Amino acid sequence: MSVLCISKRISVRFTAASAAILMSFAVQAADEHFLKDGGPAISGYDAIAYHTLGKPTPGSSQFKAEYQGVTWQFASAANRDLFAANPAKYAPAYGGWCSAGASKGKKVSTQPHLFAVVDGQLYLNSTEAAHKDLFLKDPAAVIDRGERNWKVIYATPAAKL
Beta pairing, strands 111-118 & 60-67:
unpaired
Q: How many CB atoms lie within 10 A of CB 2?
A: 7
Lowest-pLDDT choice from 37-41, 64-68, 71-75, 87-91: 37-41
What residue ranges in the chain does DSSP mark as E strands?
Answer: 60-67, 70-74, 111-118, 121-125
Residue 8: pLDDT band by 50, 70, 90 thresholds?
very low
Q: Is the pTM of this model over 0.85?
A: no
Give yes or no for a contact between 125 and 110, defined as CB atoms under 8 angstroms apart: yes
Residues 74, 90: contact at Cβ < 8 Å? no
Q: Is 34 helix (H, G, I), strand (E, B) or coil?
A: coil
Q: Are 134 and 80 in contact (CB under 8 A)?
A: no
pLDDT tens readout for residues 15-69: 444 444 433 333 444 445 676 667 899 999 999 999 999 999 999 999 999 998 8
